[in-house]
Amino acid sequence: MFHALRRPDIMVVTLAAAGLLMVTMGLRQSFGLFISPINGATGMGIATISLALAIGQFTWGAIQPVAGAVADRYGPRIVLVAGLFILAAGCALTPFVESGFGLAVSLGLLASIGSGAGSFSVLIGAASRRLPIEARGSASGIINAGGSAGQFVFAPLLQKLIQTIGWAGSLWAMAIAALAALPLINKVVASGQAAHAPAPDEQRLGQAVSQAMKDRSYLLLHAGFFTCGFHVAFLITHLPGEVDLCGLPPSVAGWSLAIIGLANIFGSIYAGSCVGKYRSKYVLAWMYASRVVLVALYLAAPRTELTFYLFAAGLGFTWLATVPPTAAIVGKLFGTRYLATLFGLTLLSHQTGGFLGAWLGGLAIVQFGDYTWMWYADMVLALLAAVVNLPIREAPVVRTNQTVVSVGR
């Protein structure tokens, strides 16, 4: 499945984009580890901290179409550079805040804007412009796997740093890691890839967005991705709290998040390969349906370390492996010219669900003392996500001796 990536220049672009996503997603996906330490140091309350992180979930999604539009018009370099600096600033300022409002600004806005500007929509859009069509599916899987590798690396590392140098020092280490990723941008973005002024007869951005928002398949894709965001944000934010409720040590949460990231490396690469073999809507439906089964098995199992690790491995395989087939459908429907913007809008839908998953999880623990009702809601939404993907209008996969292409609409 990697034959299309054998050229060194293609592999450099792909791995550099994966490296950037490894940093931006690895840092962002570890914010849930700081809920308990920040609460213990400041007394803000779990609900207040959860709201700040929920704002971050929505903000990360809201910045995606904006960053994508700027990248589509002025080039991705300026977006990626600004994103890493803003991410570093948000992490560095967090230890100095003393209120829920301050936390919402530092982690909820700054860190989330920065990580969002250096995330899927801009990176996949930038890489797609430099890659031949036959390499884009596998490349998107590898790029997506970079984000999972970041979770695998940063979650246990930051958990250990929190225990040794404290949560404040760990956040400053995150800021340094963000700035250290700046040189990778030169490998992703070509020197001449600075701006793209529309030709007189070329479809404008507003026209492309208007067309997309009237497309039934595009809206169904949004609905499924919304529920994916709910699921991911709830778990990434509140899994440490669930571990604590079960009387297990904090290291179980760190390793569970790491296992999710490790499993998703393989899941993302596999999903990228499936884009060239099957209709992406069926790949998505299978992924969402599997989550219903996994959550049901978790609820029926004893709450042991092994249960959490097995649960994390199962969930991790599809965790953010939904990104390659979702981006592939957007590309099939509308092409790559405004892919960063249009895929960014689907990520906004994803993170609207993410806001609710993170916030309602905090309310659930305050109101009911556990996350039982959140698990039930998660199962229902995952099932709905599987169903709404099936009617999506997507070209069938046609195999030739040279490559795999899609025909029709």
Q: Is 251 exposed, middle or buried (0-12, 13-18, 19+ CB in 10 A)?
A: middle
Instruction: Output the furthest CA–CA distance in the chain (Å, rounded).
Output: 64
| DSSP code of residue 322 | T
For the chain, percent of residues with pLDDT exceeding 90: 32
When pLDDT is averaged across residues 284-292 and rounded to a whole number, the result is 94
Q: Write down the pTM of the prediction.
A: 0.72
Residue 28 has pLDDT above 90, yes or no: no
**Nearest of 331, 286, 289, 263 to residue 124 by alpha carbon:** 331
> 16-25, 33-42, 323-332: which has the minimum mean pLDDT?
323-332
* DSSP structure string for 152-217: HHHHHHHHHHHHHHHHHHHHHHHHHHHHHTGGGHHHHS-TT-S--PPPTTSPPHHHHHHHHHT-HH
pLDDT higher at 137 or 41: 41
Span 112-132, pLDDT tens digits: 999 999 887 788 778 877 776
Q: Go through the domains of the chain in sequence order and give each one's CATH number.
A: 3-190+205-394 (1.20.1250.20)
Contacts of 160 (CB under 8 A, 6+ apart): 254
Q: Please provide the average confidence, as pLDDT, over all residues in the chain.
A: 84
> 21-35, 57-71, 133-147, 239-253: which has the minimum mean pLDDT?
133-147
**For residue 42, what are the CA distances in angstroms to 36, 46, 102, 103, 243?**
10, 11, 12, 11, 22
> 159-173, 321-335, 369-383: which has the minimum mean pLDDT?
321-335
**Nearest of 341, 336, 320 to residue 18 by alpha carbon:** 320
The SS3 assignment for 330 reads: helix
**Nearest of 21, 277, 249, 11 to residue 124 by alpha carbon:** 21
pLDDT of residue 132: 67
When pLDDT is averaged across residues 150-161 and rounded to a whole number, the result is 85
For the chain, percent of residues with pLDDT exceeding 70: 89
Residue 150 has pLDDT above 70, yes or no: yes
pLDDT higher at 293 or 61: 293
pLDDT of residue 396: 45
pLDDT of residue 406: 41
pLDDT of residue 409: 40
pLDDT of residue 359: 85
When pLDDT is averaged across residues 386-402 and rounded to a whole number, the result is 68
Per-residue pLDDT band at 191 (split at 50, 70, 90): low
